């Protein structure tokens, strides 16, 4: 059996969660085996791990009819699938392995933030090439993707720095570093979708487009998930009673997974139905995607080095 510690480990505790912590300073095998044990991170791991598996299945299904390698129009679809799988896998690893030590705690959550930045840009890319209306596309085509890439990186930087500086910051300031940059990135990334929804519902006879319906659910699920990310409910009202199930972060995971899955369905539908609108033009999507991922990874690595140096100073 995997030993679970009742009290909160120093520097590794979760607000309002009293029990169910795994003991630090064990082997990597110990933490991988906790995948099959009951602890306060178990549901956080499995929600995103199962969702990552679903993304792989969807990718396999789509590859039977979509030529991801030779069809330029399919590149954004592949990138959003890849970015969704990446953020889900990195999140699962962060919740599974962060308890090993204080440095591991920072390292794997920084990796999680890199995954989020990658997914933010992947979402912006899919919305820009499939969901956007022609008029809006022509208006923002020169600035949308570069700005999305910058805000995705800025989101990663804000989350990493907020985590690094959290011991010296008030609790609300830590959340601001995470929520504000991510919120700015989301506002830009979702703007083509919101414009599409508004335009569709302005049509005579109402809106009956299936992809738009998926996009509406995507926005709704994201807003619910954002609430539970920003607010530790219900565990702040019931300390100790949500240690294993019912945490706000677990609810956040569930709704974010639902958001991602309906987003992919919307993207798949738009990819098929809106091809005549945007044709088969080759899009330079890969370079900026790789650049954004590399900048985010380097930022996380740099802040990790700062954390490591700070820990060495404490020891000395």
pLDDT in tens, 164-192: 988 787 777 777 888 899 999 999 999 99
Whether residue 109 contacts residue 288, with contact meaning beta carbons closer than 8 Å, is answered with no
The answer on whether 39 is annotated among ligand-binding residues is: no
pLDDT at 122 over 80: yes
Six token digits for residue 296: 């985010």
The per-residue pLDDT for range 22-67, each reduced to its tens digit, is: 988 899 999 999 999 999 999 999 999 999 999 999 999 999 999 8
For the chain, give the mean pLDDT: 89
Q: Which residue has the tokens 């330029």?
A: 72
As a whole number of angstroms, the distance between CA 108 and CA 93 comes to 7
Residue 10's pLDDT band, with cuts at 50, 70 and 90, is low
Q: Which of 28-32, 206-210, 228-232 has the lowest mean pLDDT?
A: 206-210
Is 215 annotated as contributing to ligand binding? no
| Residue 170 pLDDT | 75
Alpha carbons 41 and 282: distance in angstroms, whole number: 43
Note the pLDDT tens digit of each residue in 248-307. 999 999 999 999 999 999 999 999 888 776 655 546 678 899 999 999 999 999 999 999
232 pLDDT higher than 90 = no
* DSSP letter assigned to residue 259: H
Percent of the chain with pLDDT over 90: 63
Query: Tokens at residue 75, please?
Result: 């590149």
Residue 253 annotated as lining a ligand binding site: yes
Predicted pLDDT at 100: 92
Whole-structure pTM value: 0.92
């Amino acid at each position: 059996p995997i030993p679970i510690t009742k009290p909160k480990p120093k520097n590794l505790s979760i607000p309002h969660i009293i029990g169910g912590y795994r003991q630090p300073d064990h082997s990597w095998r110990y933490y991988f085996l906790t995948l099959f044990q009951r602890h306060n991170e178990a549901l956080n791991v499995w929600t995103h791990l199962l969702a990552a598996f679903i993304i792989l299945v969807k990718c396999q299904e789509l590859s039977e009819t979509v030529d991801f390698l030779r069809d330029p129009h399919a590149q954004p679809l592949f990138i959003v699938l890849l970015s969704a799988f990446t953020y889900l896998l990195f999140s699962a690893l962060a919740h599974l392995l962060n308890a090993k030590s204080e440095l591991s705690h920072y390292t794997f959550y920084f990796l999680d933030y890199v995954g989020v930045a990658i997914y933010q840009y992947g979402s912006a890319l899919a919305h820009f090439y499939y969901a956007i209306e022609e008029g809006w596309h022509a208006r923002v085509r020169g600035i949308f993707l570069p700005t999305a890439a910058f805000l995705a990186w800025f989101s990663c930087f804000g989350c990493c720095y907020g985590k690094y500086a959290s011991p010296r910051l008030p609790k609300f300031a830590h959340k601001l570093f995470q929520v504000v940059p991510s919120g700015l990135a989301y506002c830009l990334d979702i703007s083509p979708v919101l414009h599409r929804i508004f335009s569709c519902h302005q049509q005579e006879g109402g809106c009956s487009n299936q992809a738009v319906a998926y996009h509406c659910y995507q926005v709704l699920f994201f807003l619910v998930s954002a609430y539970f990310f920003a607010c530790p409910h219900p565990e702040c009202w019931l300390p100790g009673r949500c240690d294993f199930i019912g945490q706000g972060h677990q609810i956040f995971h569930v709704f974010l997974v639902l958001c991602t899955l309906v987003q992919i369905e919307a993207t798949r539908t738009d990819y098929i139905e809106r091809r005549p609108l945007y044709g088969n033009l080759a899009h330079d999507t890969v370079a900026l995607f790789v650049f954004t991922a590399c900048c985010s990874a380097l930022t996380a690595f740099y802040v990790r080095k700062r954390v490591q140096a700070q820990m060495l100073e404490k020891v000395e």
